[in-house]
Structure 1
Amino acid sequence: MPKRSNFLILMFLLAFFLIFTKTPAHCSDTGHDPLRQVGRQQDGTIVLPTNRILKPAGRQVEFEGRPNGIALSPDSTTVALLNAAKNNIIVMDSRTGEIKQMFAPDGFKASSNGIVYSKDGKFLFASQSDGYLLIANVLSDNTLFLEQQLALPLSKIHYPGADYNPNPIGLAVSDDGKTLYIALSRNNSLAVFDISTRAVLKEIAVGNVPTGVVVGNGKVYVSNRGGRPARQGDFTVDSSGTPIVADPISGGAITGSVSVVDIKTNQQITSIPVGLHPSGLLVAGKRLFVANSNSDNVSVIDIESDKVIKTISIKPFENALFGSSPNALAIMDNRLVVSLGAGNCLAVYALGHRFGGVEFQGLIPTGWYPSGIAVDNEKRQLLVANTKGVGALGPATIWKSPAGSPPTQGKGHNSMAYMGSASMIEFPDYHTLQAHTRQTLENNSWIALSRRKDAKKTGTKKPDPVPLPEKTGDPSVFKHVFYIIKENRTYDQIFGDFKDKNKKPKGNGDPKLVQFGQDVTPNHHALARQFMLFDNLYDSGSISSEGHQWITQAFVVDYLAKDLTTYARTYPFNGGDALVYAPSGFLWENALNLGKSVRVYGEYANGLTANGLEMGPWVNPTVKPPAKVKAPWLGGGVTNAGSWAAFWQDTSILAGEETGELHVKLRSSSDIPSLDRLLCREFPPFNTGIPDQYRVQVWMKEFDRYVADNNLPNLSVMLICQDHTQGNLPGYPTPEAMVADNDLALGRIVEKISHSPYWKNSIIFIIEDDAQNGVDHVDGHRTLGFVISPYTRREVVNSNYYTQLDITRTIEHILGLPPMTQMDMAIDPRAMKAVFTDKPDFTPFKAKPARIPLDTMNKPLTAMKGLEKEWALAMAEQNFSKPDAADEDMLNRVIWYTVKGYDTPYPGDPRVLSPHELESEHGRKIDDD
């Protein structure tokens, strides 16, 4: 472990700031302007939707996409970045930062890592997420020319949507330059590839989910993010078809390993236990360094004995909770440089003689989520790939035009307008490193964290209950917290033309971007008028696979952060993958650990059966699916459990409006043991084939029982998801009707609670999981949300900067819970104090009736023509079995056209587009399958 002196520099800097700096009157406890908006600021800093800012060191090169991997050419003149989301390889001059090429061969799909030059610099190898190896020739000007995309050994591990895909990730070239080693994550193997013959010579079994590869001392070392293979008696949770040895409570991986393969025999000779989620590897001298992303540490292995001889704790400040995500490593001037993805920085450690001692020296701020480091010793610079870069870039976002059209400035911004970056950082001297450290502390609000007494101790003396206590553990007037999660809407889509009860415009909205206004969402508008309108609230994630992690865990693990947009293994919006579960646990576990009672309705549940059979919208699970399913939705929205109309009729039966039996009995489940036992089984998780009114009826029945028995849980978490919509698919309601269904459900839930005996000590938090299915004039992450209670200030607009993490921290504080990770730990637990008043108003809420029939259906294909029919046919081939499985660029446009008309261009597009004119987010035409 590092010596205690490792923290002395950091503690001195913290003390210096606490003594010699004061928080300006206009600033929040974080030292930042409380009215700031996400995006680029006048001083050049960038505000993120995660309660942090960016002011990185060195020079920044920005580009569209999400760079996951980085490689420096052997002559150190060129940097190549493996760029997901845009599916290209960025070729950049390492001296000037000039982008020389965006190499995007047809069908290229960038993996979550894996890019390397040949030893002679004549070739570049890159992993493709769809199971191919890209081989490119390096031309005289250092640009790339495609040689081939070679299919790698097929996976024999079954998982729906990923069958046969080996999903290559890490790459390494042998010391003699003749062999390429490829980590095949879905095969749980290492492929041995002969560079001269372009052939795979052998596949070697290693641990679970091999990720990183390095060569050293006549051996190949492979980091296994999923740890060792399961043994008889192990508790396991699945990850893309592989059973992962898992925690019997939270379901996350509990082993990590490094496989050692002998180069001469091509056999695994041993497996070395290390920390959780080992990812980045580095060989230096006789040492192997392993970045353990889910343990916040680095294992140091002697490569002669293949034993762990030291473990370096990677904590950016003393007493830090989990949440650094060390994921990449480099060495320069006998200093170990560790990329901290979640910390948006690099940590620098001095290494003693023969790497015997380790001493923390400081931090270097980077772009958002650094994930790869290359060292240019000649120019003494660090080259860093920042996966999230600058986010959606806020007001500076420019939307992509269709091929052949001139570029156009977007009128609205989407959360998926990914802008990655590369940092070019001169290796700092002692004084510069201290300045970088101070900037990192400020960027992440860690100075404010040390200033707050609340962060150091909980309350001891119990004062009178108030809405938001001074100290964690002090009593709150709220004994029951409801957390309601909705799906995918921006602020402007709902509230862009918001008016108060006197019909005066209120809030920072753009009326041109409204899609579901007052006539579609009367309850949303009524709640914002009666309670509080938030017009500066942000989702922390870009899409559902991130959003539900932020909501339930206050964190997104490195595995998912890098795999975002590729999803070659799973799409874990609601779990279903052991590798997305953080070791810090979930919000409900946090509550249970403090003796609180919890009930969960649909949120994060990944299992749903109908009459005991798995419910899915594609094919009957007992029938082997064809190679490609064509237009499964055109039969009137029928799933193997029935049509939307059948569940709509069931809703009437649940409400007592009709007699009879439900056409199927639903049962939800989760592979997370702690969640599974908290679920209301009859309440369906995400499935847009089931109306939200069905969900409300199930919840109301159970709520009435809680009222009768006087045992309402302290925390209730609920998903209502119909605002996601199904576009213009025949057999389903129109987008307006589905959003109206969601609106009425929300109104009825609030009405029920506010007319109950529990209203006096209840609080309701409501937010979207993400805002990806729309545009917003401020930033694509800006969303709608509510805080509803008798103690909420009434009829006001709150323009303070808040995110999902503020809501999580507020819930924790009200219930007397500690933070879970560094992300919520850094937030002032009283950041939302402006929301509340000490003088309660117990006036209940009265739900507004829907203004459009909730069973207003999309037209059948026979009634469509022109562009409307083209879009319906294109949407019919999309997968709506889970959030975001459909192409969101397409879905966003078809919703816009359906609501606004097929004569109104989508924001940023020069005209109304046909499906065939629209390039998908993957950089290829949608009809290129």
Structure 2
Amino acid sequence: MPTPPASLGTVVTTLLPTGLAMSPTAMPGSTYIPLVPGLTTNPTIPAGYAQSETISPDGKTLLVLTSGYNLVVDANGKKVPADSTQFIFVFDVSSNKPVQKQVVSVTNSYVGIAFSPDGTKFYVPGAGEDNIHVFAFTNGTWAESGAPIALGHTAGYGLAQKPTATTIAITADGKRALVANRYNDSVTLVDLINGKVIAEQDLRPGKSGGTSGQAGGEYPNSIAIVGNNTAYISSERDREIVVVDISAASPSVKARIPVQGSPNKMTLNKAQSRLFVASDFADLVSVIDTTKNAVTSTVSTVAPSSVLTAAQARYKGASPSAVALSPDEKTLYVANRGTNSVAVVSLAGSTPTVTGLIPTGWYPTDVRVSPDGTMIYVSNEKTPPGPNVGSCLGYATVPCPVKNSPVTFAPNEYILNITGSALLAVPTPNAAYLSLLTDQVASNNSFGKLPSAADAQTMAVLSSKIQHIIYIVKENRTYDQVLGDLGKGNGNPALTEFPKATTPNLHALANNFVALDNFYDPADVSGNGWPWSTTGRESDAGARMLPSNYAENGGGGSYDWEGTNRNVNVGLAGAARVAANPLSKDLDDDVLPGVSNVAAPDGPDGEVQQGYLWNSALRAGKTVRNYGFFIDLTRYALGGTPYAALGIPIDRNPFEHGKVQAYAANPDLAPLTDQYFRGFDTSFPDFYREKEWEREFSAYVTNGNLPNLSLVRMMGDHTGSFATAIDGINTPELQVADNDYAVGRIIQAVANSPYASNTLIFIVEDDAQDGPDHVDAHRSTAYVVGPYVKKAALVSTHYTTVNMLRTITDILGVDHLGLFDSTQGPMTDVFDLTQTTWSFTATPSALLVGSALPLAASNPPALALKPTHDSKYWAQKTKKFNFAEEDKLDAVAYNKILWQGLMGNRPYTTGRETTKK
């Protein structure tokens, strides 16, 4: 390799909606290849969520497996089955420069892909299809060979959970495969010669010779096989490696190896004497001696010790997701999904040591090394989606204008459609280059960066003055969709679907306080919106599962992001779980025992599953009250005998009637939750949620004991359930108007209380998936209200939910949540320390006049407005949809209906505008 220059030259850096940056081609000679399958009917559609790689035994062929949002439609909005698949990209790497040779379709996939030892076949588990797809090389091309091998599961363990075949490993002789069954907590041994199942081994202690009701072996993730006889399986939920003897016809569990964090992908050395395990949450790799079945060492993968400040080094977020060894086995390469980097770990000494970092694309999910060690291949799960101006409330895969409209509509602009993925090929850097690349990664992640003296002073003053934070999380709206008509800032009124007439209070907040026209939700959808909104990051388990959960064609993924796993409330255990949800009483004692949550992050100092905002507040001795965060939702929409009787009926005055409306799904929130505040239920107006919140707030005013942190979920702007919605709040405009008024009433209550001088209110959407935006599909609305906030200001600083969380923790004087909010700055541009007084009066939209809500007599709307259509129209159009849980509906069809119903003949911008952020 030539002598390195004084710098890396021109480095192209892209700012991401997470607040971090990526610069994948910083290393000279790197190649960054977006994965675009070149579909016949949709040639520009990218393949999203590259999950895994494998290199052929001869080192000449690299396969990259995607597991993205597999719903593609034609110009008329009709699904194209041939294009609505997952993909395997086939690259020739014989010359160490990837050359794409073929794209092979597979109906469904998750993260599993493996070559046969002779390289003539490869295998892909079919996720929710519960099978194995077999591909063979014939006449110069790869093609599926025969029917998939069925694994034979009828359901997964949990409540209404499908099975999901995840990863696969092949024995050394190529005769058998072992497949991990993610939701059956088992592995299946398969005869590849005859294409049939040999046996299945349950990995849970209670089903494998241990104690019943003891957690273990759940959520199996990755598999490594030593020879033909011994398999190592990582258990994400239970943080262990399960050792299984597969030498006989009947496999058996022979050992369990505890590891720190949540283990995912693994690799063996050539001698198969050492197993390297990447672990999320702990940000480390564990080295296991397979002769002793014990961890012999660990190494943090975040950065070399000199890069982070001592304070920042405590925090987690690098999220190592995959490992690969150099051919000489002196170096381990670790994909750090969270920090968009590959950690270079020296194995030369007695203790593994990180010597540097290599920048990658967004979310590296797997890594491989060429046989000669000169190239590193990194699959990157995501690429920035850009604007989605042709998107009908987000999903945008059908022509939105009514028939005969002259507008040419762009289909397939839902955020998961336009989020692609990429393969990065990087020449292996020498020490000099590695030092420069490490500096670039540090810059991309703000490692070592501290707030300016002015910012620190501002936050110190606010921390001394503000004693209470009210944190409100709403659902799924973009900036243009709500505030595009604001009249100032970077908005496009042609994309505004809920204008000032619908959302007078949100418009007043943006106009009277601060309009944030460059604010971004890091998340794509609610599945990662809630982790980002409560922890400032997302788990590796959640990031991998998201596309499978949202995908078509048997994705089968479980919605595990808000305290339930497989629809089971793992925030509660034993009798408390059954009391919260009687459906749990029929579950086996070995189904998700205890209160472990596969997606719950750890705290800064390794506090297991204690990485949420409320955990930080509680550790600091602050008081917390929860209204609607992390609630078990399974009982809100039960129908039919015998389950209807187990539902939780709607009650407008539940406290008065003593009717519990909510059960927390997080063990720490359970005692802090207002059980009379109903969780996510689109049939129930936010008006009554605010009424319940205000009941407690009034008591806090009387008693002088308002909690330091109030978590408030106001989800009515999600919209839905038009046939069952009560009190006439049964159209999209009415539900958004109801949400707007409820938020306004919270702010009015605070403004008119003794707490007005020492309380700040922060409002954010969990994601921006359900709307169009001319800047970026992640751009959303956010508001900061209260004392010391600027008045009538426009702030265009690039902020994200992470900056908001950093601001909240700084003001409360509590610890940061993780690596990202510890390195990204607070939202100081929002504040003016001279603005000590403020006021606000809530105004109901004129749309609400005709509803049955008991609106306040003061400040009534001047005139009544009518929705574009009545509830019968919306109920008929959406009668087949499931609104019981966020995003659990036919997204494409629903958003087509929303646009047509709301916008009619209104012209729709279809060009992709480019705007600097």
Given the two structures, how large is their TM-score scaled by the length of structure 2? 0.79
Counterpart AA for 2:177: L
The answer to whether the 8 Å contact 1:50/1:803 transfers is yes
Counterpart AA for 1:338: V
SS state of the match for residue 484, structure 1? strand
- Give the corresponding residue for 2:60: 77
Change (3 A) 1:308 1:218: farther
SS state of the match for residue 880, structure 1? coil
- Give the corresponding residue for 2:588: none
Q: How much does 1:79 deviate?
A: 2.4
The answer to whether the 8 Å contact 1:490/1:772 transfers is yes
- Give the corresponding residue for 2:140: 141
The answer to whether the 8 Å contact 1:382/1:425 transfers is yes
Change (3 A) 1:665 1:727: closer
The equivalent position to 1:344 in structure 2, one of 340, 343, 350, is 340
Q: How much does 1:526 deviate?
A: 1.1
Mapped partners of 1:393, 1:137: distance in 2? 37
- Give the corresponding residue for 2:533: 551
Change (3 A) 1:412 1:211: closer
Mapped partners of 1:890, 1:151: distance in 2? 32
Mapped partners of 1:903, 1:848: distance in 2? 27
What per-residue deviation string (whole Å, max 9, x for no partner) do you get for residues 153-177 of structure 1? 31565423314x1x11121111111
SS state of the match for residue 436, structure 1? helix
Do structure 1's residue 275 and structure 2's residue 269 form an aligned pair?
Answer: no
SS state of the match for residue 763, structure 1? strand
Mapped partners of 1:891, 1:302: distance in 2? 53
Mapped partners of 2:120, 2:880: distance in 1? 41
Change (3 A) 1:531 1:617: farther
The answer to whether the 8 Å contact 2:389/2:774 transfers is no
Mapped partners of 2:753, 2:390: distance in 1? 46
Q: How much does 1:408 deviate?
A: 7.0
Question: What pairs with 1:359-508 in structure 2 (closer than 5 Å)?
Answer: 359-378=353-372, 380-388=374-382, 390-394=383-387, 414=415, 417-449=418-450, 468-469=459-460, 475-499=463-487, 506-508=488-490
Q: How much does 1:416 deviate?
A: 5.6
Q: How much does 1:890 deviate?
A: 2.8
The answer to whether the 8 Å contact 1:410/1:907 transfers is no
- Give the corresponding residue for 1:876: 879
Q: How much does 1:667 deviate?
A: 2.6
- Give the corresponding residue for 2:241: 257
Counterpart AA for 1:877: K
In structure 1, stretches of 5+ residues that fail to align are 1-16, 21-41, 228-252, 460-465, 500-505, 609-613, 625-638, 656-660, 910-929
Counterpart AA for 2:601: A
- Give the corresponding residue for 2:109: 110
Question: What pairs with 1:724-739 in structure 2 (closer than 5 Å)?
Answer: 724-726=718-720, 733-739=730-736
Q: How much does 1:728 deviate?
A: 6.3
What per-residue deviation string (whole Å, max 9, x for no partner) do you get for residues 320-351 of structure 1? 21222112110114201111111111111121
In structure 2, stretches of 5+ residues that fail to align are 1-5, 36-45, 71-84, 204-216, 400-406, 550-555, 566-596, 604-610, 852-865, 913-917
Do structure 1's residue 835 and structure 2's residue 825 form an aligned pair?
Answer: no
Counterpart AA for 2:497: Q
Mapped partners of 2:354, 2:320: distance in 1? 14
Change (3 A) 1:272 1:379: closer
SS state of the match for residue 549, structure 1? helix
Change (3 A) 1:294 1:220: farther
Q: How much does 1:712 deviate?
A: 0.7
Question: What pairs with 1:213-252 in structure 2 (closer than 5 Å)?
Answer: 213-226=223-236
Mapped partners of 1:765, 1:312: distance in 2? 38
Do structure 1's residue 313 and structure 2's residue 300 form an aligned pair?
Answer: yes
The answer to whether the 8 Å contact 1:773/1:888 transfers is no
- Give the corresponding residue for 1:299: 286
Given the two structures, how large is their TM-score scaled by the length of structure 1? 0.78
Q: How much does 1:375 deviate?
A: 2.1
Mapped partners of 1:110, 1:407: distance in 2? 34
Do structure 1's residue 208 and structure 2's residue 218 form an aligned pair?
Answer: yes
The answer to whether the 8 Å contact 1:554/1:805 transfers is yes
Change (3 A) 1:258 1:292: farther
- Give the corresponding residue for 1:538: 520
What per-residue deviation string (whole Å, max 9, x for no partner) do you get for residues 843-901 of structure 1? 3101112211374789689x76xxx89xx45x433321110111333333222121102
Do structure 1's residue 581 and structure 2's residue 605 form an aligned pair?
Answer: no
SS state of the match for residue 459, structure 2? coil
- Give the corresponding residue for 2:496: 514
Q: How much does 1:132 deviate?
A: 2.1
Q: How much does 1:730 deviate?
A: 7.4
The answer to whether the 8 Å contact 1:186/1:569 transfers is no
Q: How much does 1:677 deviate?
A: 0.8
- Give the corresponding residue for 1:463: none
Mapped partners of 1:99, 1:666: distance in 2? 58
Mapped partners of 1:654, 1:739: distance in 2? 23
SS state of the match for residue 847, structure 2? coil
Mapped partners of 2:190, 2:816: distance in 1? 47
Change (3 A) 1:97 1:734: farther
Q: How much does 1:149 deviate?
A: 2.6
The answer to whether the 8 Å contact 2:344/2:357 transfers is yes
SS state of the match for residue 840, structure 2? coil
525-534 vs 292-301, which moves further: 292-301
Q: How much does 1:739 deviate?
A: 0.4
Question: What pairs with 1:15-94 in structure 2 (closer than 5 Å)?
Answer: 44-57=12-25, 58-63=30-35, 64=46, 65-85=48-68, 86=70, 87-94=85-92
SS state of the match for residue 781, structure 1? coil
Mapped partners of 2:343, 2:642: distance in 1? 48
Mapped partners of 1:848, 1:142: distance in 2? 65
Mapped partners of 1:223, 1:182: distance in 2? 10
Change (3 A) 1:498 1:693: same
**Alignment RMSD:** 3.2
Change (3 A) 1:443 1:755: same
599-608 vs 325-334, which moves further: 599-608
Counterpart AA for 2:345: Y
Q: How many residues align?
A: 775
765-774 vs 377-386, which moves further: 377-386
Q: How much does 1:374 deviate?
A: 2.1
What per-residue deviation string (whole Å, max 9, x for no partner) do you get for residues 371-415 of structure 1? 111222147212111112x23245899998779xx9976898746
Change (3 A) 1:145 1:412: closer
The answer to whether the 8 Å contact 1:728/1:898 transfers is no
SS state of the match for residue 667, structure 1? coil
SS state of the match for residue 338, structure 2? helix
